[in-house]
Amino acid sequence: MKAFIVTKYKAPVQEADVPEPTVGVRDVLIDVEAAGVNQLDEKIRAGEFKQILPYRLPLTLGHDVAGTVLRVGAEVRGFAVGDQVYARAGKDQIGSFAERIAVDQKDVAPAPTSVTPVEAGSLPLVALTAWQALAERGNVQPGQKVLIHAGAGGVGSIAIQLAKHLGATVATTASAGNADFVRELGADTVIDYRTQDFEHLLSGYDLVLDSLGGDNLEKSLRVLRPGGMAIGIAGPPDPAFAKTAGLNPVLRVAIATLSAKVRRQARKLGVTYQFLFMHPDGDQLRTIARLVDDGTLRPVVGRAVPFADTARALSDMDKGGVRGKTVITHP
C-alpha cells in the first residue's frame, strides 16, 4: 500500500510502497479517509523525540485517523466491518499517513455522526490533549479562570471550547486577525500576543495550558494564583513523565535537569508545573464524540490537502497561519 515514510531524521518524508498492516487479535483495520497533521509528526520527523520515542526507521508517520473499519481481530468487541471510527493510534502503531492502519480497539471509538470524516480526523490528538489537560489533570471547575495559549491553533481551538463547557472564564493569546475567531469559540479575554504582554494584563488564574514553552511558560507561572497549575505540552518534560514513559535512568536524570529551572520557579511562586504528553484513549474519544454531536465542541479544519501532498503539509507545519488543523484526505 502507499504511505509516507521517514527514512532519515530531518529528511523530508517520501511516498513509498509499504507492507499491509499486521492486524492483531485486538486490532481494528481502518481504511484511512482522513488523517490530522500534528506538531508531534513534525517533531518525530525532525528527530527531536528520538531519545524518548526511539523508533526504527523507515517509519510511517501519522497519529490521527478517521475512516471505515475493513477488518477486526478475533478478540475485538464492539466494532464491525463498515463502522465509521476515529482514533489516535498508540505509539507502537502510528502510521495514518497511509492507505490503511491497524489500531488497538482500546484506542478506537465510533466517529461523531454529525461531522464529516475530515472533521473527525482533525480531532483525536488535539481533543484528547485538551481533555486530559483540562478535565483529567486540571479538574477545571465552574467559575475558575483558565488561560489557553495559541487559541487559534489545533489544541487551543478545542481547549477554549472545552474550558467554556466546563464552566471556566477563558483568556487566550492570539493574533489580532484571529481575535473574533477565538471569541466565537468562547474566549472571554483575547490578548494580542504581537502587541500586548499577557503577564501584565492577567492575574489570579487557576490553570494555564501552554503550548509554546520557554519564556512563555515562565511568564505563565506568574499569572497563576497561589496553588494554580501550568500544564505544558511543548515541554520541558518533567520527572513524572520520564517515570511514566519508563525511560532509562540516564534519560530520567537528563529530563529532570531540563525541567529543573521551571519547576524551581514554580515552587517559589507557590504553583505547580506539569508536562503533558497525551495518551490514546478510546473511552475519552467516545466522550468527545458525544460533545461534538451535541454541539458543545466544533472541529476546526483550516486546511484539507490530498494524500499526495502529505510531505508539503508536514513541512508547512512550522509556517503556521492555519486556524485549527491541517488534515490529509483520501479520494
Residue 150 within a domain: yes
Average pLDDT of the segment spanning 198-216 = 97
From the centroid of its chain, how far is CA 120? 14
At residue 277 the predicted structure's pLDDT band, cuts being 50, 70 and 90, is very high
CA nearest 96: which of 28, 42, 45, 34?
34
Check whether residue 140 and residue 50 sit in a common domain.
no
Q: What pLDDT score was predicted for residue 86?
A: 98
Q: What pLDDT score was predicted for residue 71?
A: 98
Check whether residue 206 and residue 92 sit in a common domain.
no
Check whether residue 214 and residue 241 sit in a common domain.
yes
Check whether residue 157 and residue 177 sit in a common domain.
yes
Check whether residue 104 and residue 166 sit in a common domain.
no
Check whether residue 111 and residue 133 sit in a common domain.
no
From the centroid of its chain, how far is CA 12? 22
Q: Which residues partner with 305 through β-bridges?
A: 328
Residue 287 within a domain: no
Check whether residue 319 and residue 211 sit in a common domain.
no
Name the 3-class secondary structure at 160.
helix
Q: What CATH number should be reported for the domain holding residue 25?
A: 3.90.180.10
Q: Which residue range forms the structural domain that includes residue 233?
A: 126-275
Q: Indicate the average pLDDT of the chain.
A: 96
pLDDT 10s digits, 109-136: 999 999 999 999 999 999 999 999 999 9
pLDDT 10s digits, 54-87: 899 999 999 999 999 999 999 999 999 999 999 9
Q: What pLDDT score was predicted for residue 3?
A: 98
pLDDT 10s digits, 18-50: 999 999 999 999 999 999 999 999 999 999 988
Residue 146 within a domain: yes
Q: What pLDDT score was predicted for residue 51?
A: 85
The total number of structural domains in the chain stands at 2
**Cβ–Cβ < 8 Å for 85, 113:** no
Check whether residue 132 and residue 243 sit in a common domain.
yes
Check whether residue 59 and residue 43 sit in a common domain.
yes
Residue 283 within a domain: no
Residue 111 within a domain: yes
**Cβ–Cβ < 8 Å for 140, 115:** no
Give all strands of the β-sheet with 14-17 in edge-to-edge order.
14-17, 2-6, 59-60
Residue 289 within a domain: no
- Contacts of residue 200, defined as CB under 8 A and 6 or more positions apart, other chains included, come to none
Residue 27 within a domain: yes
Check whether residue 118 and residue 134 sit in a common domain.
no
Q: What CATH number should be reported for the domain holding residue 201?
A: 3.40.50.720
Residue 292 within a domain: no
Q: What pLDDT score was predicted for residue 235?
A: 86
